[in-house]
Each structure stands twice: as C-alpha cells, then as structure tokens.
Amino acid sequence: MKAYQKGILQAIPAQAVYLSFDLSPQADRSAAEAALRAVQSLADGERVVAGIGAQLAALFGAAIPGLYDFTEIPGAKMRLPATPAALWLWCRDSERGALVHVQRHVQQILAPAFILRQAICAFRYQDGRDLSGYEDGTENPQGEEALQVALTADGGSFAAVQQWEHRFDKLDAMSQDERDQTIGRRALDNEELEEAPASAHVKRTAQEDFEPEAFVLRRSMPWADAHQAGLVFVAFAASFAAFEAQLRRMSGAEDGITDDLFRFTLPLTTSYFWCPPLRNGKVDWSALGIV
C-alpha cells in the first residue's frame, strides 16, 4: 500500500476547519494545476487532509474509479441535500488561531482558480462526544481493520461528508430516557440498549447487520457558529457503498423506517471526495495528471 494521508486514521484533533471549494468560472486546467501544485506545500495529509471532487477530476479529464458526486438516495423519505464541490480540505490543529492562518494561506494559494464555498469551524467536545452528549464513532474499526476499511490498495480513501444541524429545542424537550431510546445507547455509560426500537440510530446503522457489512471509519466533529450548531459527519472507506447502504436505511428508503436521529437533527450538505495517497510527504495529484 502507498503512503496514505495519516490524518484519516489519527485521533480527532482539538480544533479543525473544513474548507470546500468550487472551481472559479474562469478557471482552466492550467490555472487549477498551478494552484494545486502550490497548495502541496501545505497538504501533508496530516495537518491538512485533501480530497478531490468529481468536478475537479472532470476538469482534468481524469477517470478516478469509484469517484462520483452524491445526487440522491432513491426512495428516501427524508431530504438529503446534494452539495458537490471541487476540492475539500480538512485542516487540523490543536489551536484555533493556527487554523485561522492556515485557512488564510490556503485561500490565497488557491485563488483565483478556486472559490471558497464553505468553511466550517469544528472542535473536539469532551471525550469525543457529539453536542447531543453521546459518544461518536463507538463502533469504529481499530488497528489493521481500520486500514482495510478506510483505505484502498493504492492508499487512497473515499470521504463522505455531511454537515448536520441540531435542533436543540427538540432535543431539550425529550426526557433522558427518550433521548437514549432515540440513539439506542445510554449517554451515561455508552451502553447499547437491546430493547431500543428498530428506528433507533444504533439499530439503523449497525454496520454488521448489512449484507455485505457496511463498515466505515468515522471521523466526525461538532461544529458551531453564532446561530447554529451540530455535527460534521465524515466517513472514510474504500468506496461510497457502505455509506450509501447506511444512508438508505437511515432515510427509510430500504424498509420505510426512518432513523430517529431525524427527530432532532437534519443534514444540510452531502458531498463526496477521493483523498489521494501521499508521495514524498505531500498529497499526490498524479491521478489528475499532475506529476
């Protein structure tokens, strides 16, 4: 296996910013190539994890097997917004101020070929919990299994990214038992509730219950701004298949039962990216013909 972007498997950082870029209307292949070459000085796969969207691959005429834009889940009973982007950067650090300068530098380097679509400031909460109070990624694969789940043979990885907005008024209106039944785990000790309903989030997304099994490596982080807050859900895998299997079941497309998670939180975005392997300590753009 080639060298992979180590940030994919590393622990969640204390602070992060997720940057999504569109191609500038006047951008051509030459301008985009120059920008991508320049940003390699920052995209080390650890402090800055980089992902390519289908739009960017199309500009270079590159066929990256398995990469495509999310569009919809046929038969879904919940709204799942599709928000494709050309380039995605997950900037990670222990200190928020450092990320301010990283973002500023990245935007300067990528302009004028890329336009910032969205910047989401995220952070680690308590011991890795969602702002709802529940642990995130409890069933994540570990060790060698994590490598097999998250990475392809060439060291690449497919990332499914969703920004979820929590409706805290709805969550606050629930009793603690009702919240636990909604998630399918006790917030107090993270123990799974065997008697939880089929609509509980844990029941809807039990990775071993799919055929084939639908394992992903979750690397999600809470986010907040002056008006809203929620979770940036990020799932890394060797393809988008496992994520889509889970989303079909969550959205009710599979059996008509929707995930109780939708009672207090809703997705604002859904985007797909391919995270290339590393070469000489930098993100390898050779799949785009940049060598």
Angle (deg, nearest 10), helices 96-110 and 29-39:
150
pLDDT value of position 1: 61
**Low-confidence residues in the chain, pLDDT < 50:** none
pLDDT value of position 138: 87
Question: 214, 232, 213: which is closest to 270 by C-alpha?
Answer: 232
The string of pLDDT tens digits covering residues 127-174 is: 999 999 999 988 899 999 999 999 999 999 999 999 999 999 999 999
**Entry pTM:** 0.96
Q: Taking the CA of residue 113 as centre, how many other CA atoms within 13 Å lie in the half-sphere pointing to its CB?
A: 20
In whole angstroms, what is the distance from residue 197 CA to residue 145 CA? 29
Residue 133, strand partner residues: none
Do 80 and 72 form a contact (C-beta atoms < 8 A)?
yes
Question: 77, 86, 100, 146: which is closest to 271 by C-alpha?
Answer: 86
pLDDT value of position 2: 74
Q: How far is CA 171 from CA 200, 209, 220, in A?
A: 14, 27, 20
pLDDT value of position 204: 95
Residue 20, strand partner residues: 88, 118
pLDDT value of position 73: 97
